Amino acid sequence: MIVGLVRRDRLTLRQLLSYLAGARGHFIFAGTPEQVADLMEDWFRTGAADGFNLMPPVLPWLFDVFAAEVLPILRRRGLFRQEYTGETLRAHYGLAMPESQFGG
């Protein structure tokens, strides 16, 4: 990602360090809800990503914006679930509950 960034934007070392300091080395993207959904769909459909970790700079506000504006687009496109199938992550993935190591 960093090499691509340098090649594409021809950043100076100072610019690169400034860019990476804010993003902690992660890909940054901002756009309209449609543009964000388009990028996520493109990465998913081309095999560049099989999931995403969101790191909004202002919590919870920007996550709430993402949930209200981008997720509905992804749901309409069939790229995000409408609801979970279980009450826990383990149940959602159909995993058995392990025995307690504490005997309880």
What's the predicted TM-score (pTM) here? 0.65
Question: Pick the residue with more confidence: 25 or 54?
Answer: 54
- pLDDT band, residue 104 (cuts 50/70/90): low
% the chain with pLDDT above 90: 36
Mean pLDDT, residues 19-48 taken together: 86
For 54-84, the pLDDT digits (tens) are: 888 778 888 999 999 999 999 999 999 888 8
DSSP codes joined into one string, the chain: -HHHHHHHH---HHHHHHHHHHHTT-------HHHHHHHHHHHHHTTS-S------SSTTHHHHHHHHHTHHHHHHTT-S-SS-SSSSHHHHTTPPPPPPTT--
